[in-house]
């Protein structure tokens, strides 16, 4: 599987992880490029990476640092075939929430 990880460095927190089938490599790369462009435009300190692993367990075994500090209210984990709602591109940064 391929995973597109969006990690907010300033918050030290996983913002989203989207899972893609191996056959959807191009889509995964396009998504990464889109997230990077958005982060640049907003000036976010965002680490956006594409990672390949057998499954989520294997990914968490090798790249556990992305999952160290998860806030269920702010993190979106989308499995292959699911659609993240609302689209991450228009989500507010957690620190900007009204509450």
Partner 1 sequence: VTGFDLEEIDRIGERLRSGGASEADYGVLRQWARTFEPAVAEVVTLLRNAMGVRPSDRPLKSELSIVRKLRERPKMRLSQMRDIAGCRVVVDELAAQRDVIDYVTRTFAGTKVIDHVANPPSSGYRAVHCEIPVSARRVELQVRTTLQDAWARYSELLTYHVHPDIRLGRGPDRWVNELSYYSQKFAEADRSDDVDAARTRRQVAFTFELQMEFVRDQLRRRARMESDQ
| Residue whose CB is less far from partner 1, 55 or 82 | 55
Establish if 96 lies at the interface with partner 1 (CB under 8 A). Answer: no
- Residues 28-57 within binding reach of partner 1 (CB under 8 A): 29, 33, 36-37, 39-40, 45-54
CA–CA distance, 24 with 33 (Å, rounded to integer): 14
Contact stretch for partner 1 (CB under 8 A) within 60-68, 76-84, 85-93: 60-68
Establish if 12 lies at the interface with partner 1 (CB under 8 A). Answer: yes
- In three-state secondary structure terms, 23 is helix
The C-alpha angle with vertex 52 and arms to 20 and 54, in degrees rounded to 5, equals 85
Torsion angle in degrees (nearest 10) through CA of 89, 90, 94, 98 = 180
| Residue whose CB is less far from partner 1, 85 or 99 | 99
67 in Cβ contact with 60 (< 8 Å)? yes
Binding region for partner 1 (CB under 8 A): 9, 11-13, 29, 33, 36-37, 39-40, 45-54, 58-59, 61-65, 68-69, 71
């Amino acid at each position: 599987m391929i995973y597109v990880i969006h990690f907010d460095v300033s918050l030290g927190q996983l913002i989203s992880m989207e899972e893609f089938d191996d056959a959807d490599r191009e889509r995964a790369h396009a998504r990464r490029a889109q997230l990077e462009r958005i982060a640049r435009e907003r000036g976010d300190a965002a680490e956006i990476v594409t990672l390949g692993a057998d499954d989520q367990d294997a990914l968490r075994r090798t790249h556990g640092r992305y999952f160290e500090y998860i806030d269920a209210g702010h993190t979106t984990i989308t499995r292959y075939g699911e659609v993240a709602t609302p689209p991450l591109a228009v989500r507010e940064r957690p620190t900007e929430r009204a509450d």
